[in-house]
Structure 1
Amino acid sequence: MTPSDYIQEQAEERQELLTSLHHLITGNDDSVVPAVESMMGKQMILYKERGYMKYGLAAVKAYMSLHCISIYMNPALHAKYVALLPSAKFQKGCINFNNSSEIPLEIISALIADCSTISIADMLENGKRK
């Protein structure tokens, strides 16, 4: 299954936002390769840098999620985007949302641009947190 296939399987009202998020990730971080894989018992689009998950995009029954390992490994970056996205629900490494009003695309674009400068693969291989 391709990322496009995954998005087409989602509810129609979610497809445009998921497509936009997919293009923001692939357009702003050329270090990642997208593929649909299983994580946490669910299919999602994983964006991997040298085999390591850097982002994930998922749609479950109650909400959608943008998994972002860079915010998990960088508390300052996490805090910055918690403040910029007050309507979204943040967990350690993911942002849960129901619609585009909770995650304005210009802010997500800035998030991905910030994260693109962080090599998750290097950090994991060297055992360091930023």
Structure 2
Amino acid sequence: MPSFADKLTGPEKDFVTALRRIIKMADRAAKEAPGAIMSAKDALCYNEQETFKYGLAKGKSGITFHSMVMYANADIADLGKSSLTGAKFQKGCINIPDPDAFDLKAFENWMNASAKKDFSPVIEHYRKKRI
């Protein structure tokens, strides 16, 4: 199943490739696979133990990054809001309308902090819902 990333070209493709590299390096427990996130049917999902953890998609206004870690941890959300310039925040989602204004090094630092969070309570919560 192809993802939105397969259709990108030029600087946008380079930007998404950089995001993917950072996500994979920061959180080796999260495995990348094509999937759906809300209305984006061709997204890239990052799951840990069959539980959605992160996602990348292309929306109407740019690239979106979804994070259950941020959704479940206010301190990670606060860190992102204070350090990730060029992004618009929602509860568990970051909208990146202009990749040139987004600091990839700050994203890498934020992803490293996110990956250190104990995700097992979220995994357990959704495991119980699947039973």
- Per the TM superposition, whether the score is higher than 0.5 is yes
Q: Is the 8 A contact 1:10 1:59 kept in 2?
A: no
Percent of pairs with identical residues: 23
In the alignment, structure 1 segments of 5+ residues that lack a partner are none
Q: What residue number does 2:83 align with? A: 84
Q: What residue number does 1:16 align with? A: 14
Q: What residue number does 2:36 align with? A: 38
Q: Is the 8 A contact 2:55 2:65 kept in 1?
A: yes
> Following TM superposition, by how much is the alpha carbon of 1:105 offset from its aligned partner in structure 2, in angstroms?
0.8
Supply the AA of the counterpart residue of 2:116: T
My pick for the range that moved more, 97-106 or 40-49, is 97-106
> Following TM superposition, by how much is the alpha carbon of 1:101 offset from its aligned partner in structure 2, in angstroms?
3.3
Q: TM-score, normalised by structure 2?
A: 0.84
How many aligned residue pairs are there?
Answer: 124
Distance in 1, Cα, partners of 2:32 & 2:81: 25
Q: TM-score, normalised by structure 1?
A: 0.85
More helix by share: 2
Q: Is the 8 A contact 2:79 2:110 kept in 1?
A: no
Supply the AA of the counterpart residue of 2:60: K
Aligned match for 2:23, one of 22, 25, 35: 25
Alignment of 1:85-124 (within 5 A): 85-120=84-119, 122-124=120-122
> Following TM superposition, by how much is the alpha carbon of 1:19 offset from its aligned partner in structure 2, in angstroms?
0.3
> Following TM superposition, by how much is the alpha carbon of 1:20 offset from its aligned partner in structure 2, in angstroms?
0.3
1:55 aligns with 2:54: yes
Q: Name which structure has the greater RCO, CA cutoff 8 Å, separation 6+.
A: 1
Distance in 2, Cα, partners of 1:48 & 1:6: 18
Q: Is the 8 A contact 1:28 1:112 kept in 2?
A: yes
Q: What residue number does 1:71 align with? A: 70
In the alignment, structure 2 segments of 5+ residues that lack a partner are 126-131
Q: Deviations over 1:32-51 (max 9, x none)?
A: 11001012131200000001
Q: Is the 8 A contact 2:36 2:43 kept in 1?
A: yes
> Following TM superposition, by how much is the alpha carbon of 1:58 offset from its aligned partner in structure 2, in angstroms?
0.7
